[in-house]
């Protein structure tokens, strides 16, 4: 006699496995999507940076200079905004994020 529990077990196992597979696929997709978003955001930020900063500077994120913390880059960008170039909050944020991403200070960051 076939036990009545067996088919139900199979269904449960199949559902669990399906759930795991779909879940994993979803995670991979979400991660890829996030990376694509980040790359796009960084390209957009670079465009602003090029337009606003590279008119006067050859290279700010100079690998020969020490990197800066996010606060350090914020001070620089704020100073430039006050003296040399007009940035709105969004542009300033994009530039700070970009410079920090490519030239992070090695010291422990405050924020």
Which residues of the chain form contacts with ligand HEC (CB under 6 A)? 52-53, 55-57, 60, 76-77, 80, 83-85, 95
- The distance of closest approach from Cβ of residue 95 to ligand HEC in the complex, given in angstroms and rounded to an integer, is 5
- Shorter beta-carbon distance to ligand HEC: residue 45 or 53: 53
- Shorter beta-carbon distance to ligand HEC: residue 41 or 85: 85
- The distance of closest approach from Cβ of residue 32 to ligand HEC in the complex, given in angstroms and rounded to an integer, is 31
Give 95-101's long-range contacts (Cβ < 8 A, gap of 24+): 95/45, 95/48, 95/49, 95/52, 95/53, 96/70, 97/41, 97/45, 98/42, 98/45, 98/46, 98/49, 99/49, 99/60, 99/61, 99/68, 99/73, 100/68, 100/69, 100/70, 100/73, 101/42
């Amino acid at each position: 006699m076939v036990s009545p529990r067996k088919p139900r077990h199979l269904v449960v196992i199949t559902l669990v496995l399906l759930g795991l597979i779909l879940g994993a696929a979803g995670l991979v997709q979400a991660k890829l999507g996030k990376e694509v978003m980040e790359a796009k955001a960084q390209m957009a930020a670079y465009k602003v940076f090029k337009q606003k900063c590279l008119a006067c500077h050859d290279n700010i994120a100079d690998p020969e200079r020490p990197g800066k913390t996010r606060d350090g880059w914020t001070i620089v960008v704020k100073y430039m905004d006050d003296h040399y170039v007009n940035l709105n909050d969004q542009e300033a944020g994009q530039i700070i994020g970009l410079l920090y991403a490519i030239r992070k200070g090695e010291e422990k960051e405050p924020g």
